[in-house]
Amino acid sequence: MKFSPLFVAMLPAVVAFTGQAATYQVVELGPIDGYKSSFVSGLNNNNQVVGNLSNRFNYPIDLNSVDFTNTVITGNLTAAEIEEVKKGNISAKALTVLTSYLQTSSTVYTTQRFAATYPARLDTRQLVRIRETAEVQTNNEYLLGINDLNQMIGYATAPFTRQSFTPAATTTTPNPVTQQLWVPSPMHMAGVIFTDKGKYILPPSYTDYGGGYSVGRGLNNTGKVIGYGSSNMAADIQTSIAKACDGSTEPKDLCFFRNAVGNAYETRGMVWQLDADGKPGTPQLLGFLGDKNSGKAHTRTEYPAVTYTSTPNDINDHGLVVGASMYSDSDDIRYYLIDAFTGRDEVYHAFHATIFDGAELKSFIDTKEWSSSYATGVNNKNIITGYAVKNINSTDRNRFFVYDYNTQKLTFPADLFASASTAPEAINDNNLIVGTTESATAGTSTRRNVGFLYDINANTFKDINTLLSCKSAYTIVTATDINEKNVIVATAIKEVERRDVKGELVKDSAGNVLKEEIAVAVQLNPIANGSIDNCDNSAEQTYERQGASFGLFGLLALLPLALRRRRH
């Protein structure tokens, strides 16, 4: 890939922190100029890294589509401040209010669309466009994974364009007013595969009433892509949407979008085979565990129907797929809450870890002991990792598991403490697993998210922060992927100078620049012959280092839904 001289000139210097007594070196991959935060999602064996950015500075506002009478604006800006905005003089305070207005007006389609996430190749610090073609992004886009062939997988919501629309005349409104509406493209969500031959949308198996939808989850090195998407739509819902979306009161594409973004479509896991040009074919639908592992729905009509679906999370180079699918037991009736005040008896149903081996589905978690479970990764040795959920001390906790598909041996390794909640993200062929766990501060009840590294062969479970130099400026809060060189990519927090929404430094009344914590994508490179740095000689290690404290975990909510990398 070639870059313009201007782009190269703008590349910030890579920051690296090393320590002689550490086993991993931290290399910062973000943030990218113009964005506050970066989150990593995957890497390959060439150390090429993909991820996503958030908190864009100087968010561009289309003042022509702003409703200045909206209470979000009038309640937070004075009349004089509003007049300045209308003139194009937008202060940091006004920009904060305007972006809040855009976000709270997401269902008002006369209002400009707000984009929260921006995909990027983090190793080259280059933004990537998935579906959007306009200068100002109108949708949310995500990159999830990259394989050794430099093929990338991601997905994006529908991009919008501003269009004129005149409703049909009626007896009550014989002269309807033309509106300027933001209208979406078909497919409210679309998975996309990038190859050296081009960029292709992953086609779902059902495309009526809005184009259907697809979400790419991962890919291997042998031409297979996994994800999920629309597989059907119930006849009564088809009738309802067809009646509502006749184009008389709003554009059909907008009407389909508003109806499809709920649960209108039936959803199934899917596998796409890429042809010689890298173009995905018709998807293979993945099944579900169903009632008592029968692959079928329960038939007890006195209880509500269960929505059966499947979600793949990873695929190895042999084509073995792992993930989760809906399981039920029609002999097990449980009370389910519908809302905070009401509930009802239903057939027990929950997602459980599933192996998709060709047309065969296999489960391996005891559904009587664990309320739900998810397989999240598989390596080329058919070693599977994931987590199962159990109520521990009145709270649901994720218990980390390793399953050897060859020997059918299931183990639940010990993590940092007995009731810690742990979620693995990836496993490499060296049998090393990375993910997110909880650490505890000695003498308190405080739990903190930290990235972990588990070695199956040595049966060692480590907080990754203990593998860094004591002088590291970073705190690793989640480890997302690991390649065959044992290079890890992760999201960390660090303390930096505070910047406002315009990217300008924030100072106190004395003129001192304030500090804040931000999320940044990092790459952790193994240090040859490195050793663990002893940062605390006391008997109780608190897992705290010189880097940032843990007041930033709200930032992790910005991570996109199921933002998982897949397959190097």
Q: Is residue 469 part of a domain?
A: no
- Taking residues 516-543, report their average pLDDT: 76
Domain range spanning residue 204? Answer: 133-285
* Amino acid (1-letter code) at residue 280: P
Residues 138/159, Cβ–Cβ less than 8 Å? yes
What local confidence, expressed as pLDDT, does residue 8 receive? 31
pLDDT interval class at 22 (50, 70, 90): confident
Residues 144/79, Cβ–Cβ less than 8 Å? no
pLDDT at 483 over 60: yes
Q: How many domains does the chain have?
A: 1
Q: Is residue 195 part of a domain?
A: yes
What is the arrangement of strands in the sheet containing 49-56, beginning at the earlier edge strand? 35-43, 49-56, 118-121, 126-127
What local confidence, expressed as pLDDT, does residue 547 receive? 46
Q: List, in order, residues 6 or more apart from 438 with CB less than 8 Å away.
A: 416, 417, 420, 421, 422, 447, 448, 449, 450
Longest CA–CA separation in the chain, Å = 83
Q: Is residue 222 part of a domain?
A: yes
pLDDT interval class at 543 (50, 70, 90): very low
Burial of 554: CB neighbours in 10 Å, binned 0-12, 13-18, 19+: exposed
- Taking residues 201-226, report their average pLDDT: 96
Instruction: Show the CA angle centred on residue 241, arms to residues 235 and 246, nearest 5°.
Output: 135
Q: Is residue 272 part of a domain?
A: yes
Distance CA(99)–CA(60), nearest Å, equals 9
- Taking residues 126-139, report their average pLDDT: 96
What local confidence, expressed as pLDDT, does residue 394 receive? 84
Tokens 């920051």 locate to 15
- The full 3-state SS of 513-528, as one line of letters, equals ECEEEEEEEEEEEECC
pTM for this model (two decimals): 0.89
* pLDDT tens per residue across span 244-274: 999 999 999 999 998 876 679 999 999 999 9
What local confidence, expressed as pLDDT, does residue 440 receive? 85
Q: CB count, 10 Å around CB of 91?
A: 15
Tokens 């400009």 locate to 112
pLDDT interval class at 535 (50, 70, 90): confident
Nearest to 204, CA basis, from 132, 272, 254, 154: 272
E strand map for 379-530: 383-392, 395-404, 409-411, 423-427, 432-440, 447-455, 460-463, 475-482, 488-497, 515-526
What local confidence, expressed as pLDDT, does residue 536 receive? 64
pLDDT at 20 over 80: no
Q: Is residue 105 part of a domain?
A: no
Tokens 């290690």 locate to 541
pLDDT at 540 over 70: no
Provide, rounded to the nearest whole percent, the portion of the chain with pLDDT above 90. Answer: 83
Burial of 516: CB neighbours in 10 Å, binned 0-12, 13-18, 19+: middle
Residue-level length of the chain: 568
* pLDDT tens per residue across span 386-423: 999 999 888 899 999 999 999 999 999 999 998 999 99
Q: Is residue 219 part of a domain?
A: yes
Q: Is residue 87 part of a domain?
A: no
Q: Is residue 144 part of a domain?
A: yes
What local confidence, expressed as pLDDT, does residue 444 receive? 73
